[in-house]
Amino acid sequence: MVFLTWVGIWPTITLVLLAVLQPLLAVFPLPIVTLIITALVVPLMGYVVMPFLTRTFGDWLHR
């Protein structure tokens, strides 16, 4: 499950950083940017990415 979480979180964080990092850093200090990014990534992981990955790799997870 840890590996699957990493498989989900790495591309999710990468895509969110590519989309919002530069504009946010121009306006906010790093701790606020981190707060905003985690506020985006955590719900994405919990409601979109991890359900998809656990369905996709369910047989592998439950062996």
29: left (phi over 0), alpha (psi -120 to 50) or beta: beta
Query: What DSSP string describes 20-37?
Result: HHHHHHHHS-HHHHHHHH
What integer pLDDT is reported at residue 12 of this predicted model? 95
What pTM, to 2 d.p., does this model score? 0.81
- Tens-place pLDDT, residues 5-56: 999 999 999 999 999 999 999 999 999 999 999 999 999 999 999 999 999 9
Give the model's pLDDT for residue 17.
93
